[in-house]
Structure 1
Amino acid sequence: MKKNIKPLKDLLDSVRDIEGFPIGKDEDILALSDPPYYTACPNPYINDFIEEHGKPYDEATDDYHREPFVGDVSEGKNDPIYNAHSYHTKVPHKAIMKYIEHYTEEGDIVFDGFCGTGMTGVAAQLLNRKAILSDLSPIATFIAYNYNKKVDVAEFERQANRILREVEEECGWMYETNPTTDVIASEAKQSSPGVQTNFLEKTQNPKKGYALSQSPESAEGLSKGKINYTVWS
């Protein structure tokens, strides 16, 4: 959009009486917003966006016509984009793409007034369309904005790795496992065959008073295992 836009704080009064204007302090609305593309209130820049990217309608020359879309639409919910953030009533963007492709052309503007987390915007961008997304829920529009804004991939990777390191340092111990009998015996064999024989005799003969789960003193310092886990939704 044009760079010579007015600051959002100077335009709040022009949209304050629109139904859906959030109940909150102006400074909080401004802090959440990233104008002109995302505002945590009715967006006063929509007309400018349409003027820049829209196609003027001329009733005399417009020959738009589409037959109703007919076809089966079935898309799973295991796509990484879909799973990036959960939300009720969420529709996979690949399903929406079929309708956008049928009813619009490249360069058109697609409007979704109940956008949720912005899957219509994702679908529109993948098909080289523009999108205007709106929702009464502030959390929905915030997620939708972050789904659809341009991202510095290198910076995103740096920040993601930083978060993973911090979580690993704080919570990694919860996923450590003590060495199993086979691992201890294998490492003990490499360090001292005598230790291995003594340990195996103890663990494999519980009648002598040794529990199978008991870790021998010689196992101290051996490498621990780690659980590889997958999150299912």
Structure 2
Amino acid sequence: MKLTKDDLDKVRHIEGFPIAKDEDIINLSDPPYYTACPNSFINDFIENFGKKYDENSDDYYVEPFTADVSEGKNDPIYNAHSYHTKVPYKAIMRYILHYTKPGDIVFDGFCGTGMTGVAAAMCENPDPEFKLQLEKEFKERGKKIEWGARRAILCDISPAATFIAYNYNTPVDPAEFEKEAKSILEEVEKECGWMYETIHINDNGEPILDIEGKPIKGRINYTVWSDVFICPSCGEEIVFWDVAVNKEDGQVLNEFKCHSCGAILKKK
């Protein structure tokens, strides 16, 4: 399926339609699942997967979710792409599992990077340890989890956000992805690798040479930037990282000495 200008005309009047060339919007889109503009296929999606509301027969009732939720931000899925005000998908899963059933449609109108979509999909097959943790939490509240994927509709006024959300929630071929990623990294290495090289030097500040007389180069893995202060006693510069940080445990010392005059200084 391909997005057409006729499809765009159906939603062009909607506030938030991107200021961009139609060709660019079409090329970025992967209809019907993702469009870089208001999605004209949502009605079809809802008709296909949704359940019509019947006031006479509907008996949906769920007690409010009242438990405290705390999740760290060191999950590899969460860290795949940074974004402001991002919420861990494992935290969102608790609400989805509490309020919905497998197959239900979940709508997030401010989706950001699409963690609600990830959470909805992960309700089908979470990692075993987290699954046991959730089942224990729900059991303590007298509720049983109904495992199974929910279907998410994700929307955001930011095209960048929806593009990230699309890639977070679209299945990929791992082998093909790895192949393409390695190809990109190789191209970047050829173009920018020199920026991360450094020449090894001896204690006298002279380059260390190999057997052919050429400088030995090393790879810069990371660079530590430090504040530099002026000692109030002697006026010499103090590199904060050099004198105020315990390199073994990474903790900042409450008191430390000026390397020039030996004056006792405090971090505040």
TM-based fold match above 0.5? yes
| Cα-to-partner distance string for 1:110-141 (whole Å, 9 max, x where unaligned) | 00011111111111111111100111111111
The structure in which a higher percent of residues are strand is: 2
Letter in 2 for 1:152: D
2:67 corresponds, among 51, 60, 71, to 71
Q: Distance in 1 between matches of 2:172 and 2:210?
A: 52
Q: Deviations over 1:147-187 (max 9, x none)?
A: 11121211110011112222223333444454576xxxxxx
Please state if 1:52 is matched with 2:48: yes
**Could you tell me which residue of structure 2 aligns to residue 114 of structure 1?**
110
Q: State how 1:1-233 maps to structure 2 within 5 Å.
A: 7-127=3-123, 128-178=149-199, 211=204, 213=206, 215=208, 218=211, 220=213, 224-229=217-222
- Which segments of 5 or more consecutive residues in structure 2 lack a partner in the other structure? 124-148, 225-268
Q: Is the 8 A contact 2:78 2:89 kept in 1?
A: yes
From the superposition, tell whether residues 112 and 224 of structure 1 become closer, same or farther in structure 2 (CA, over 3 Å): same
Letter aligned with residue 92 of structure 2? I
Distance 1:180 1:32, change over 3 A: same
Task: Please state how far the C-alpha of 1:229 moved relative to its aligned partner.
Answer: 4.2
Range 18-27 or range 158-167, more displaced: 18-27
| SS of 1:69 mapped into structure 2 | coil
- Name whichever structure is richer in helix by fraction: 1
Q: Which residue identity does 1:215 align to in structure 2?
A: I
Question: What is the rounded CA distance, in whole Å, between the counterparts of 2:16 and 2:211 in structure 1?
Answer: 68
Label 1:143 to 1:103 Cα distance change in 2 as closer, same or farther (>3 A).
Answer: same
On the 8 A contact 1:77/1:92 being kept in 2, the answer is yes
Alpha-carbon separation, structure 1, partners of 2:210 and 2:6: 72
Indicate if the aligned counterparts of 1:82 and 1:93 stay in contact, CA closer than 8 A: yes
State the alpha-carbon separation in 1 of the partners of residues 71 and 120 from structure 2.
17
Deviation at 1:144, TM superposition (A): 1.0
Task: Give the gaps of 5 or more residues in structure 1.
Answer: 182-202, 204-210
Closer, same or farther in 2 for the Cα pair 1:107/1:175, shift >3 Å? Answer: same
Query: How far apart, in 1, do the equivalents of 2:199 and 2:24 lie?
Result: 49
**Alignment check: 8 A CA contact 1:100 1:124 kept:** yes
Contact map agreement 1:8 1:35 (CA 8 A) in 2: no
RMSD: 2.7
Task: Summarize the Cα distance change of 1:214–1:39 in structure 2 as closer, same or farther, 3 Å threshold.
Answer: closer
Q: Is the 8 A contact 2:114 2:154 kept in 1?
A: yes
TM-score, normalisation: structure 1:
0.74
Cα 1:108/1:214, change in 2 over 3 Å: closer
Q: What TM-score, normalized by structure 2, do the two folds share?
A: 0.65
What's the counterpart of residue 191 of structure 1? none
1:103/1:177 Cα in 2 relative to 1: closer, same or farther (>3 Å)? same
Q: Percent identity?
A: 69
Q: Determine the C-alpha separation between the residues in 1 that align with 2:78 and 2:187.
A: 25
